[in-house]
């Protein structure tokens, strides 16, 4: 049985430098780690099915959500594609309001087909579950540099040269308000965010970090995945103002 050997991390094959700035060597390492994990879980599932007839995923796949599997693409030099159209600012003028309504992230407005693989998804408490992300339309929201940095941290950005970093809670709130979310502080560390999809308010809640005021990179990515599942937005939804 090769499974225990394939799962042995002592040779560094599972090292995943996602918190480091993207480099050629780091990209190769992350791709190799993903391939090693695929191999391990493929063998593990085979052993489970041979011994029990089913693997763990077979037991829960009917009750968990499907989600997009984020893969590290092969190393390429970064190229920007400025083929986006500006979105009207009538509902997103932060000089005129503190919070607003977001109607640009509706799932029904998207047509971009996701071709990446899928795996099991967890249902996050406090979110409204979106439709599957396999028939999404391309809608670009133009943002400034400060907001762009926030969303590059929140969402999987395989072609971004930005170094993974912590995210200040103030910057997170600013970014959410700037694209039209209404924000309300609840009890304790809980905050309520709502986006307007037509006449329906679609809420989600996040917890403010405490005692520190920064979201760690891993927590920021977790928040980003929740936003993707709830509203269908990702790194491709936002584009930097020229």
Domain match, 112 and 232 both = yes
Domain match, 146 and 204 both = yes
Residue 147 lies in a domain: yes
Domain match, 212 and 103 both = yes
Strand ranges (DSSP E) for 69-186? 118-121, 141-143, 167-168, 182-185
Domain match, 7 and 121 both = no
The two tokens of residue 166 are 């912590």
Distances in Å between the alpha carbon of 193 and those of 85, 126, 146, 225?
A: 26, 10, 20, 15
Residue 88 lies in a domain: yes
Domain match, 114 and 45 both = no
Domain match, 55 and 104 both = no
Residue 66 lies in a domain: no
Domain match, 111 and 17 both = no
pTM: 0.58
Domain match, 203 and 94 both = yes
Domain match, 49 and 89 both = no
Distances in Å between the alpha carbon of 185 and those of 15, 84, 171, 173, 182?
A: 38, 34, 16, 11, 10
The pLDDT assigned to 92 comes to 42
Domain match, 29 and 143 both = no
Residue 78 lies in a domain: no
Euclidean distance between CA atoms 77 and 25, whole angstroms: 13
Residue 67 lies in a domain: no
Looking up tokens 């133009």 gives 142
Domain match, 211 and 106 both = yes
Residue 174 lies in a domain: yes
The pLDDT assigned to 71 comes to 85
Pair 226, 124: CB distance under 8 Å = yes
The average confidence (pLDDT) of the chain is 74
> 167: which strand partners?
215
Question: Which domain range does residue 20 map to?
Answer: 3-60
**Domain count along the chain:** 2
Residue 108 lies in a domain: yes
Consecutive 10-residue runs of the chain (242 residues): their mean pLDDT? 73 84 83 90 90 87 76 68 43 43 44 41 39 50 91 82 80 92 91 76 88 90 90 87 82
Torsion, Cα of 165, 167, 171, 172 (10° steps) = 120
The pLDDT assigned to 138 comes to 61
% of residues, the chain, pLDDT over 90: 20
Domain match, 134 and 168 both = yes
Residue 74 lies in a domain: no
């Amino acid at each position: 049985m090769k499974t225990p050997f394939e799962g042995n991390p002592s040779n560094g094959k599972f090292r995943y430098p996602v918190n480091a700035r993207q480099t050629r060597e780091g990209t190769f390492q992350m791709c190799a780690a993903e391939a090693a994990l695929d191999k391990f879980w493929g063998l593990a599932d085979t052993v489970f099915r041979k011994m029990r007839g089913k693997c763990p995923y077979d037991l829960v796949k009917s009750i968990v959500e499907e989600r997009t599997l984020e893969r590290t693409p092969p190393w390429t030099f970064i190229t920007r594609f400025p083929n986006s159209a500006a979105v009207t600012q009538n509902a997103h003028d932060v000089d005129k309001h503190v919070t607003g309504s977001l109607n640009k992230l509706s799932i029904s407005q998207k047509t971009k087909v996701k071709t990446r693989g899928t795996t099991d998804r967890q249902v996050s408490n406090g979110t409204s579950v979106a439709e599957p992300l396999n028939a999404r339309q391309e809608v670009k929201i133009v943002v400034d540099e400060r907001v762009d940095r926030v969303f590059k941290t929140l969402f999987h950005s395989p072609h971004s040269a930005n170094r993974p970093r912590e995210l200040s809670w103030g910057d997170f709130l600013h970014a959410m308000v700037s694209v039209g979310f209404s924000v309300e502080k609840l009890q304790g560390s809980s905050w309520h965010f709502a986006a307007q999809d037509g006449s329906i308010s679609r809420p989600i809640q996040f917890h403010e970090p405490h005692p520190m005021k920064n979201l760690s990179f891993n927590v920021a990515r977790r928040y980003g995945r929740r936003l993707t599942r709830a509203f269908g937005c990702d790194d491709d939804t936002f584009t930097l103002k020229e």
